[in-house]
Structure 1
């Protein structure tokens, strides 16, 4: 019996041991940490190891794989109670340019983390010390000083793609000062943490090349959850609570589940974000919010001179079943994700999902906003987000702080760069030799063909670094005064400017002459040698728009001439530049006269005349050529005003030739600006002239209400101006939301007709919208009603229309059936003919005193 009991006990022990081994294996499999090949945790100036947030930092003087060139550096330590954390108790102070060289085993992105605290009683004025920090390729800090810094200590985190066997971090003190650092981390990260591509906004398009850029972490939030330090994250990251960034704190409620409930899908791991991040979230509203549909908005102060990488983390931990949560996500004024149904993507609940974006900050704001709110098309009033990361992207000079390049700090920094210089020199020399031989050959050819070319060389026209050329194009360049000429068969593409001419005209792109910034690039005011004022639009190489838009703009505007279209004077494509030169529009974009500036408000008559001018320009595009042209980016910033406030449509980079006679639409990828996009075009990718009509309807509401087309900071029902204004129009109360500066000066009949026009433009389906000819007629009628109101008595308003005493309206009876009153006019070739035709239509309405 005893033997039997002993045998059973042995079996039980073996069974328990087996289960313990299995359990240990499962635990290790579930919580296995990423082990970085490169893992430098350096306590600068310390004489002993320092433990901070669960990690051990080794003195910089004792690390076997670290090579330091610190010159006459000074070590300081402090046991003062004022020191915020142990990692800041020591520092190394540099009196001259000094560097740390880290041997790299795994190429790819690495975290580079720097710790700064001006240790007291160091013998130097560390608070006033101006610190510059650079790597081989990037400027991280440029003359930073604690004198202008609000905090007592500073932690900086960068993500840098290391493509060599070493990473050199150099500290440069300013003249007569010192530099210092308390601790450094260089840690490799998983390759799949950051990809080379993200979605750029405004307009939406893929953005490639992120691997060549450096990032600086600006914000990393655990939304709805508590602060997480490096010990809680497998990659040593810190996650802040989001409460202080909420636009309206009472607009949210916290949601949470146990972290063990989170189910990571393939491609998303704890390295993407810890399960503690996905286990918490913010959801919409609570009892303290009057409008339960109020968007959740986070506002972040940023540097407007940089672009930002934005990663949004989502996890539906609040729904009880699939497909019961649909919402929109906004970044600034752009819709980043529309009608997002997480469960349809993940096929389950409590499954993490993230999305990456690249966004610029608005030129008139120092804030970046991120918002979530319910989809207006869904009968679900909720939205959620779990985590948010915002990282600054290095600029064209490879800087994350200011506008100085590495070369300005390290003109001859390393043998590596010297070697590169030798190689580059050899290549350049070889190319120069080949070019010389080619030049001699060209000279010979030129000499033989001089009589036929009248002494002018025949050149090809490269576009943006010779990457693409104009189809069937040849240029004939000849300078006469300040002019260059270009010919394309029988089509005149305008004047070809040299880059030096552009520099002279714009005073070397003087920022004081900056007129504005658009999707293509920056626009400067300029003056030619003959005194002609011009607008110079300089393409930004990192813009979403590039060669295709540059070529489209030239080709389109070379064919179009109209009083209400901005005229293209010429262009320049030297030195890998894409520069367009236009007639100068002295009063700038329409938007700047509506809101956002201190310019005097426009009168109602001025606004109507501007809308009529823009409508004429669009009507010409749609009907004036053998095949219609669809603008595709109609908005208030693309309607410019000359010195007489005559409106002209601008920016044809996204324009598209319309459908042929036997077609109803053009199938094409969606391009344009959110807030102005035709919803039917957005859904079906089918472009028609009616897409421009919808965008123009948004412009009309913007002109009336003087607010942006999209404003995610507002309550949900007010975010989209088209939807918001239409709700008031249908109630017949448009006067309640119009610009307060117009109150008392707008004739009710004119406003009614204006509102009806906008309402028809904003119809859900293109077939229900009027043509631009009908819109033009409508606006002319609204203007006549406004003008006549001051000199003629108004008859009582009836249910059909507002009309003027003594005027027969039988010719207008088919107006509501969208019959164009100016069909057949030859607007394609003669502005005066268009005006005459329009005047004929209104011959019965003309004010006897004239307009």
Structure 2
């Protein structure tokens, strides 16, 4: 499928390349057009554009007394990276601006070899007059050889300064700079906000950073084929399910721009190609096509969706829905009613955050119930980061805190200080007045809670808003305290004392419900305090489910709920504290020591026990629905416990095979069958746990779009190696030579079964648990065996166990050698494991 699409793209490019170049290069001519090859001694040509050395430019001013030029003749990703200007101290480029308004600022970084400086560890901080663009970036922890950044800044003065800040007694550097004016109509001042729904104004006063720019269903579009010098990449690696989308295309000459869409919005090549709904192997055609994008959850994003009906034969036949995260952006969207024709471009702008509780932003299209044709279309997509209130696009540091004090700033310092002091005094007085009012109100009468009441486990009646009462004086609980199943009821003051008034330094996590703080109770008990955000509807649902679920459950491998606080308009849950945090932190992304193979197996076994209890130990099956490495927590002894039951759901009744429900969970871990059919079973947790197993083995994220296409999804990538019997080639290098081949083989077989396409082919969590314990036994006995191998079936005669389907044990290849051994070695391994399993002191 992928190869066929690639050939179609190639033929399409060859057929219409000349047309595209002619069309795209004739329109917009920027007034300001600075293309700088920093540190170069000669002009550099890149895709039809000439970059001029910064030493030969007279139209801008370079400020920096001490700078050196580093050159390289080695192979580099692009000619712009053949040289760099290195700054041992703060330096700046000041550009004369002839046309005020939005400008591209494009920066190129590549740490070329330099005998004097180690550019890979050099921190890079870049600020303009008003915005922080980049803050303390280093290549040392970056998964890439070069960095390209594109920003859109609204310049309102006659000059623009780009400041490069050297910090930590190190140098900083840059290879190339673009400052290019763009049409004012490219970015509006207002867009539709999705959460909460309403207009989002003030974009003209914000800085923007391009994060993703995609040409759906089409090939890569390079800057020379875009009048504004943009790059549009193909969308395929961001598709959640590849088979869910089908590429369509027309001759770019057929695209007819209306008066309300300028060619500068997107080149006709973007509108001439699209993704529509493909064959996702489902019995019904109401599935969605979804793209998944990792984003920084601390920022808001401008999302532009491009549409052009190059698929339909008739007007008003294509009606579909567009979703961004869980929000419906365009319901019953009849594209031709806006364009009054086919092959006519249209676009729509939105503002959104990342999906609640995750670091992903998702965009989906799907058919509408009233549509004559059950299909949907998307031609292009842009996801652009919006600067925060600190006027930063990277972190929370402001320009004033990053940029050294300049003489022009000193003259304004007295005025600024006076304004700040006056404002602070006014705020303080207002705060004192507010505190007095709140104190008086709390003494006079109990406060009502702004959230909905909870139907609690153990209560036979549902509490209505009008009947909410508290049995504790001075509180405003909407929860009846008659139920003893909810644990301890905390006063808000107790929570304040335990968390030092919610000290930011005690934050240990952030989710869709709110922030999680480390706390210490009066008796010295460490706890985790999850404080709800009343504005989060997802958080409310999560809170309700969490308290209902955990009030019923107690198990060594489930995180325990200690109690709650429902006072002063707060919703707070208090859990046992897990000293070693989430499993993911011990696999990648931190400086924590690597886990041994035995530790990893024991952690997986603990998590499997917790999930097995959820599926079989409660009165009714409970499906977790969000199994991932961040929801497996480790205590001080590295005992694993499953956490976060906000998305959990009761399993099907005895006479049912599944629960029909909207798809929820984390991308990268989602069961593809559940995603396609919206039919949830406990086997959905088994699939997610299979992803966790591969994450534990390989020490990399479940999804990593910066990797080559075949490596983006760990489940797909690891399975290709598992089927070849070569998992040892992709596992964490730390484990190399430290894992018994027999244990690895059994672990790989277990993960492979978990990741089966269809739930009926997956084992139960009980089967998974048994096989992981067996893999651990193989690992523990391997030191006593010459060649410990596992070619047995799952069941060892003589050991009582629940009936189960044995896993297939096909011969695999490890290090290029047949992994099966002779019968004597197999018998020896089995006997050794058997002797420990039946001996209670064996472990």
| Alignment TM-score, normalising by the size of structure 1 | 0.56
What is the distance in 1 between the residues matched to 2:136 and 2:117?
17
Following TM superposition, by how much is the alpha carbon of 1:163 offset from its aligned partner in structure 2, in angstroms?
A: 4.1
Q: 2:608–2:765: 8 Å Cα contact kept in structure 1?
A: no
User: Which among 54, 66, 77 is matched to residue 72 of structure 1?
Assistant: 66
* Residue of 176, 180, 183 corresponding to 1:183: 176
The corresponding residue for 1:504 is: 500
RMSD across aligned positions (CA): 5.7
Query: Which string of whole-angstrom CA distances, capped at 9 and with x for unpartnered residues, describes residues 434-479 of structure 1?
Result: 899x89xxxxxxxxxxxxxxxxx994459xxxxxxxxxx65329xx
Does residue 82 of the first structure (1) align with residue 75 of the second (2)? yes
* Aligned match of 1:94: 87
Report if aligned partners of 1:496, 1:570 keep a CA contact under 8 Å in 2.
yes
Aligned-partner Cα distance in 2 for 1:36–1:720: 47
Q: Given the alignment of the two structures, is residue 229 of structure 1 paired with residue 229 of structure 2, yes or no?
A: no
State the Cα distance separating 1:56 from its structure 2 match.
Answer: 2.9
Instruction: Tell me the equivalent position of 2:234.
Output: 241
* Per-residue deviation, residues 9-31 of structure 1 (Å, max 9, x unmatched): xxxxxxxxxxxxxxxxxx99998
Structure-2 change in CA distance of 1:345 and 1:180 (3 Å): same
Query: Is contact 1:709–1:720 with CA below 8 Å preserved after alignment?
Result: no
Conserved in 1, the CA contact under 8 Å of 2:317 and 2:371?
no
Cα deviation for residue 273 of structure 1 reads 0.7
Q: Which runs of 5+ in 2 are unaligned?
A: 1-20, 449-473, 477-490, 541-550, 553-562, 579-605, 628-644, 682-758, 768-843
Cα distance between partner residues in 2 of 1:225 and 1:261: 16
The answer as to whether partners of 2:24 and 2:267 remain within 8 angstroms in 1 is no
Q: Give distance in 2, aligned partners of 1:507 and 1:702.
A: 47
- 1:202-601 alignment runs, 5 A limit: 204-285=197-278, 293=285, 295-362=288-355, 365-375=358-368, 378=371, 380-395=373-388, 397-402=390-395, 404-413=397-406, 415-416=408-409, 418-430=410-422, 459-460=433-434, 475-476=439-440, 485-488=442-445, 504-511=500-507, 513-514=508-509, 516-518=510-512, 521-524=514-517, 526-527=519-520, 535=529, 537=531, 569-571=566-568, 580=570, 582=572, 584=574, 600-601=610-611
Query: Retained in 1: the 8 A contact 2:256–2:343?
Result: yes
Pairwise CA distance, 1:508? 3.6
Q: 1:301 Cα shift? A: 3.9
Alignment of structure 1 residues 642-653 onto 2, 5 Å: none
How many Å apart are 1:350 and its aligned residue?
1.2
State the match for 1:158 in structure 2.
Answer: 151
Is the CA contact (8 Å cut-off) linking 1:198 and 1:356 kept in structure 2? yes
Secondary structure class of the residue paired with 2:102: strand
Q: Within 1, Cα distance between the matches of 2:662 and 2:609? A: 15
2: CA distance, partners of 1:386 / 1:48: 40
Please give the secondary structure, in 1, of the residue aligned with 2:500: helix
SS, match of residue 143 in structure 1: strand
Report the Cα distance in structure 2 between the residues aligned to 1:460 and 1:281, rounded to whole angstroms: 55
**TM score, norm. by length of structure 2:** 0.56
Separation of aligned partners in 2, 1:490 and 1:370:
40
Write the distance in 2 (CA, Å) between the matches of 1:88 and 1:151. 14
Of residues 43, 49, 65 in structure 1, which corresponds to 2:37?
43
CA distance in 1, matches of 2:370, 2:653: 22
Q: Residues 702 and 709 of structure 1 are in contact (CA less than 8 Å); yes or no, is this contact kept in structure 2? A: no
Compared CA separation, residues 219 and 380, structure 1 to 2 (3 A): same
Q: 1:123 to 1:319 in 2, by over 3 A?
A: same
Distance in 1 between the 2:426 and 2:394 partners?
40
Contact between 2:129 and 2:161, CA under 8 Å: does it hold in 1?
Answer: yes
Q: Find the aligned partners of 1:247 and 1:489 in 2 and give their Cα distance.
A: 49
Q: In structure 2, the residue corresponding to 1:236 is in which secondary structure?
A: coil
1:135 equivalent to 2:128? Answer yes
CA distance in 2 between partners of 1:304 and 1:95 (Å): 33
Q: 1:430 to 1:337 in 2, by over 3 A?
A: closer
- Structure 2 distance, partners of 1:180, 1:158, is 18
Task: Report the 3-state secondary structure (helix = DSSP H, G, I; strand = E; otherwise coil) of the residue aligned with 1:93.
Answer: strand
Residue by residue over 1:185-229, the C-alpha shift from the partner in whole angstroms, topping out at 9 and shown as x without a partner, is: 112322322223434446655444444443322221112222222
Aligned pairs for 1:769-848 within 5 A: none
Shift in Å, 1:336: 3.6
Distance 1:567 1:367, change over 3 A: closer
Query: How far apart, CA to CA, are the structure 2 residues paired with 1:129 and 1:359?
Result: 33
1:300-347: per-residue Cα shift (whole Å, max 9, x none)? Answer: 344445443322211101110012222333434544433332112322
Pair 420,224 (structure 1): closer, same or farther in 2 beyond 3 Å = farther
Task: Kindly tell me the number of residue pairs found equivalent between the two proteins.
Answer: 583
Q: What's the counterpart of residue 584 of structure 2?
A: none
Question: Which has more radius of gyration?
Answer: 1
Indicate if the aligned counterparts of 2:499 and 2:517 stay in contact, CA closer than 8 A: no
